[in-house]
Structure 1
Amino acid sequence: MQTRQQPAPAPALARPDGSPVRVLVVDDEPNLTELLNMALRYEGWEVRSAASGMQAVRTAKDFGPDAVVLDMMLPDFDGMEVLRRMRTEDPNVPVLFLTAKDAVEDRVAGLTAGGDDYVTKPFSLEEVVARLRALMRRTAITAVESDSLLVVGDLTLDEDSHEVSRGGTEIQLTATEFELLRYLMRNPRRVLSKAQILDRVWNYDFGGQANVVELYISYLRKKIDVGRAPMIHTMRGVGYVLKPAE
């Protein structure tokens, strides 16, 4: 009889000082909050919870979370307002939105407002943990030189001033080109599908018009890659990936 090999456990995440990572769970459903708390504590993480927007903002200021699980619908004000207030204290804290299954507008609005990812209810606890791990790893990778600066190879993007340069040469981008490049740079070496890019950079009204992604990728390549070693690569049938030039 063959024994089934167990998957290797995911590497433990920790803060720079070695202490457990901190996660804030914001939801007004007590049963769901308790399940999330148990799952996250099982990972060895320190967890606090809040059941309202106001409580979430106060707790975040006191707790200093490394990531936030944030329900879009709360009894006092919505998740986007919570996000806005928390980001005044910590502009870089990654936020994973919880949204209703059919609330397409919420997903679009949440990502446009600066949320990093979302899961739809009902969800698996394993998915939430995996998404949080990915967010925290990506945050550590991209926050290189300052709170607002993304750096991949010799390409830099300042999220505050909207300045972009490669190899010290300034590059002028339109607003949409900037948002597309920012999304690629927040996910270096990660293949992003056209659907993911549409969800993040445009709104869902584009539907199947994935050719808009191809069009703007071509615009970016003309400004970022022409005359240089390419950084934006097409993975046929899968999507696009940005990585340092070889």
Structure 2
Amino acid sequence: MADKVLIVDDDPSICKLLEKVMHSNDLETDTAGSGTKALERLKHHTYDVILMDIMLGDMEGFEVIQHLREDGIQTPVMIVSGRNEDYDSIYGLSIGADDYITKPFRPVVLGAKVKALIRRTKNMMASQSSLLECGPFTYDSSTMRFYKDGEELILSSKESALLLLFIKHPGQIYTKDMIYEQVWGTTVAIDDNAIMVYINRLRGKIEKDRQKPAHIITVRGVGYRFVP
């Protein structure tokens, strides 16, 4: 299936030109002649890139971008505008645009930029899919490394298995039997002391104060609960 581009411009001749450039790069297109129409389309359709003019009939393209980002829509946006002031490009990028190109543009350059933006976004999404995030904690399955607030945690294999169990199931109460089965792989000859030793070691590495844990909470008489 071809990648799809939404063209947002109130000038029909520019829309036709942009459609032609996109089609020549094997990209499908939709068009919206106003900011309102663009926002409405994006409620019901997904796109790989949005080409956004700044000067629209009903609002500025900047406003459209702000609405998108506030709504959690992370589709990459390339501003295509006749305004070539540095302020416009800097402001556009600061509110969530991913690239800025001025009119008149060279069709071959625009096509290459759009395809590069799509490729970069897809690669980023693929790399992020290996990340498991839970509060301040991140686990990168591709490297089997853990991080808290961006800082790597140096953990043993048992500590890693414990933390992975917890961040996969935040809020769930785990009995010692359940922990021993998940981390040690058996329910035979459960060693309560071993569990407590590793819980304390893990607390020492992820808690600000292991004596007053904020993440690994003891549920008296039952087991432990993880609060991210």
Deviation at 1:44, TM superposition (A): 2.3
Question: Equivalent residue for 1:132?
Answer: 114
- 2:77·2:98 contact (CA, 8 Å) conserved in 1? yes
Structure number with bigger Rg: 2
Question: Equivalent residue for 2:56?
Answer: 74
For residues 148 and 31 of structure 1, the distance between their equivalents in structure 2, rounded to whole angstroms, comes to 46
Query: Secondary structure at the residue paired with 2:73?
Result: coil
Does the alignment pair 1:145 with 2:128? yes
- 2:79·2:100 contact (CA, 8 Å) conserved in 1? yes
Question: Equivalent residue for 1:227?
Answer: none
Deviation at 1:54, TM superposition (A): 0.4
Does the alignment pair 1:47 with 2:33? no
Query: Secondary structure at the residue paired with 1:75?
Result: coil
For residues 168 and 96 of structure 1, the distance between their equivalents in structure 2, rounded to whole angstroms, comes to 37
Question: Equivalent residue for 1:93?
Answer: 75
For residues 49 and 121 of structure 2, the distance between their equivalents in structure 1, rounded to whole angstroms, comes to 10
Question: Equivalent residue for 1:103?
Answer: 85
Query: Secondary structure at the residue paired with 1:48?
Result: strand
Return closer, same or farther for 1:25/1:90 CA change in 2, 3 Å cut-off.
farther
Return closer, same or farther for 1:20/1:88 CA change in 2, 3 Å cut-off.
farther
2:97 to 99, 115, 123: 115
Residues 49-58 or 97-106, more deviating: 97-106
Question: Equivalent residue for 1:31?
Answer: 13
- 2:69·2:96 contact (CA, 8 Å) conserved in 1? no
Which AA in structure 2 matches 1:43? N
Map 1:1-246 onto structure 2 (within 5 A). Answer: 19-89=1-71, 91-143=73-125, 144-145=127-128, 163-165=149-151, 167-168=152-153
For residues 4 and 26 of structure 2, the distance between their equivalents in structure 1, rounded to whole angstroms, comes to 10
Question: Equivalent residue for 1:207?
Answer: none
Deviation at 1:101, TM superposition (A): 4.5
State the TM-score, normalized to the length of structure 1: 0.52
Aligned residue pairs total 144
Deviation at 1:87, TM superposition (A): 2.9
Which AA in structure 2 matches 1:28? D
Deviation at 1:89, TM superposition (A): 4.7
Which 4+ residue blocks in structure 1 deviate beyond 4 angstroms?
A: 146-151
- 2:7·2:31 contact (CA, 8 Å) conserved in 1? yes
Identity %: 30
Query: Secondary structure at the residue paired with 1:77?
Result: coil
For residues 68 and 148 of structure 1, the distance between their equivalents in structure 2, rounded to whole angstroms, comes to 28
